Amino acid sequence: MIINEKELPTILIDQYADLQRILTSDDAKKETEYQLKLVKVKLESMGIVTTELDIK
C-alpha cells in the first residue's frame, strides 16, 4: 500500500484526533479499547491478521 501526499496528512490528523479523544476521555482505558477495535477492523478488512500483534 502506497500512501500519497494527500492521504498522509489525513491519516495523521485522524491519529491526532484519536489520541486527543483518549486523553480527554472520562475512561481512557475504555476509549483506548474502542480505538483498538476500530483499527483492528480496518486492518482485517485489508487482510492483515492482528493476532500476532497483540501483547499477551
pLDDT tens for 7-55 read 999 999 999 999 999 999 999 999 999 999 999 998 899 898 988 888 8
> What pLDDT, on the 0 to 100 scale, is given for residue 56?
77
> What pLDDT, on the 0 to 100 scale, is given for residue 22?
93
In sequence order, what are the residues at sequence separation of 6 or more whose Cβ sits closer than 8 angstroms to the Cβ of residue 3? 11
> What pLDDT, on the 0 to 100 scale, is given for residue 32?
93
* pLDDT higher than threshold 90 for residue 1: no
> What pLDDT, on the 0 to 100 scale, is given for residue 16?
94
Q: Residue type at 34? A: Y
* pLDDT higher than threshold 90 for residue 6: no
Tell me how far CA of residue 4 lies from CA of 28, 42, 48, in angstroms. Answer: 32, 19, 20
